[in-house]
Amino acid sequence: MNETTTADIARKIEQTRKMEADYRDDILAYIFSFQRIVLRGAGGFGMAFAAFVCKHGDTHKFRFWDARSESIQEIHGIPVEQPYRENLDKDTTLIINCVMNPAFTREIGREIASAGFVCVLPGQALLEIFLCPQNESEFFSGAHCAGNKLCDLNICQRLPCLVLKNGWMHGEFNMKNPGIPTQKNT
């Protein structure tokens, strides 16, 4: 594991998520520095993130933990296992919470903490950083966010930052749905 602390990487994640800085390379290096990386949840985001990591490094360190492991045995060559069956070293294992359903995200976060894991990253933030097509250099579309089933618009921190950085210049603010800008008619 590298010398970056969980607090350091949490700060870098938030700054990158809000487009205050670009620490994507540092975040990926931190993720791949662990001996074991568990993607907790093999749903839509877990599968999309697995496809992403397959393009960026060695996936032999990765595991999915999902209650549906008997019916989903492997995704992109990464095995799917029942959560907590294997006794993993808490200091050398990183857990990425890939459960995007808000009804379960907090419960799974508490479950991970009660199991003693301290190196945990939020999947929603990683989705916004690595998989969100919205960026500040191009005009963005709130309609993309509203129709996207992968992420959760209600807890997204990237879109409000885009609205504050660019929305006022490139579009009108949609007062019926403040998180979604509308394009000006010309």
How far is it, in rounded angstroms, from Cα 135 to Cα 4?
26
* Average pLDDT score over residue span 87-114: 89
Question: And the tokens for 12?
Answer: 């870098």
Q: pLDDT over 90 for what percent of the chain? A: 42
HEC string of 25-48 equals HHHHHHHHCCCEEEEECCCHHHHH
**DSSP state for residue 186 in the 8-state scheme:** -
Confidence grade of residue 146 (pLDDT, cut at 50, 70, 90): low
Q: What does the alpha-carbon distance between residue 135 and residue 53 come to, in Å, rounded to a whole number? A: 20
Please give the Cα distance from 76 to 90 (Å, whole number): 25
Residue 152 has pLDDT above 80, yes or no: no
In this predicted structure, the answer to whether residue 96 has a pLDDT above a threshold of 70 is yes
According to DSSP, the β-strands at 93-97 and 120-122 are: parallel
Q: Decide which of 107 and 141 is more confident.
A: 107
What's this model's pTM, rounded to 2 decimal places? 0.79
Residue 114 contacts residue 90 (beta carbons within 8 Å): no
CA atoms within a 13 Å half-sphere pointing along the CA-CB vector of 178: 3
